[in-house]
Amino acid sequence: MRIVTSIPDMHRIADAERAAGKRIGFVPTMGFLHAGHMSLLHAARARCSTVVMSIFVNPIQFGPAEDFARYPRDEARDLAMAEEHGCDIVFLPSREDMYPDGFETSVDLNRSTIPLEGESRPGHFRGVATVVAKLFNIVKPHMAVFGQKDAQQAIVIRRMTRDLNMDVEIVVAPIVREPDGLAMSSRNAYLSTEERTEALAISRSLRLAESMCAGGIRDPQRIADTVGDAIRSSGRVSVEYARLVDAETFEDAPAMAGDRPALLVVAARVGSTRLIDNTILSWKDTI
């Protein structure tokens, strides 16, 4: 596995891989890797001959009161895991190279920044879209893999590639969960043992919504309210939002939405840790 830290070196390597007829698959991450990230690597490996993973904790996607400074980092462990799981190249840029003095340009979004995560975390998607656009320009991938856990992020990135005519295929890989249902996330490292147990209320509430949907309930508000109440009643987890939205547009899902799958999205705080999770509810399959 090659470790690349300079942007010009990464450009040269990407050009050489492309010239050799290789298909480059890309997994952008902020490190502190877990099995969810490994599933993204495997998805890239299944589709591509060269797999590149970036590890970069992107300062511009964190708000001033968010966890940039304490975001968990363990480079040695990350590199060992990436190698063990067949990554070919790890790109590890520095903050100074990514955002040198005088950095001015960003990728902005309109409608998709408004609801849910965009509302709760102003500027977050501008930061994500900007760094992903930069990484695409540096790594020059044919395809890139994102996790369904950050469902809105995946939609924002897909929208960006379409709107800006980027020739990168976006693949979204399913959420990977711990055996007890907790969605894997680097931020789970913040949870105490007690908080981790309380956090299970989130995935449990998603299963509840799935069974309501399978039982024929089609009222988005009722499902979302039941989910919110189930999380709140289980302990000290506070719900930031629990909403049923159209899986493509992130607008509120209409009742009896027909063919289009709806996405149940939840953001909640357990102690000082903010967690997000979601599940796709397919009305059609369950009618």
Residues that bind ligand PAF (CB under 6 A): 28-30, 58, 61, 128, 131-132, 150, 153
62: region left, alpha or beta (phi > 0 left; psi from -120 to 50 alpha): beta
DSSP code, position 20: T
Cβ proximity to ligand PAF: between 43 and 131 the closer is 131
| Whole-Å CA distances, 70 to 167, 178, 182, 186 | 35, 23, 22, 12
Instruction: Work out how close the CB of 89 gets to ligand PAF at its nearest, in angstroms, rounded to a whole number.
Output: 16
| Whole-Å CA distances, 188 to 5, 33, 78, 191, 258 | 28, 11, 16, 5, 36
Amino acid making up residue 256: M
Instruction: Work out how close the CB of 33 gets to ligand PAF at its nearest, in angstroms, rounded to a whole number.
Output: 10
34 in catalytic set? no
Instruction: Work out how close the CB of 150 gets to ligand PAF at its nearest, in angstroms, rounded to a whole number.
Output: 5
Q: Pull the structure tokens for residue 86.
A: 């067949």
Amino acid making up residue 278: N
Cβ proximity to ligand PAF: between 58 and 203 the closer is 58
Question: How many helical (H) and strand (E) elements, i.e. helices and strands, does the chain have?
Answer: 10, 9
CA distance 174 to 115: 22
**Residue located via tokens 């990350």:** 78
Cβ proximity to ligand PAF: between 150 and 195 the closer is 150
Active-site residue (options: 11, 37, 85, 124): 37
Cβ proximity to ligand PAF: between 112 and 153 the closer is 153
Instruction: Work out how close the CB of 28 gets to ligand PAF at its nearest, in angstroms, rounded to a whole number.
Output: 4
**Residue located via tokens 């992107």:** 58
Cβ proximity to ligand PAF: between 126 and 142 the closer is 126
Instruction: Work out how close the CB of 74 gets to ligand PAF at its nearest, in angstroms, rounded to a whole number.
Output: 15
- Residues marked active site are found at 37
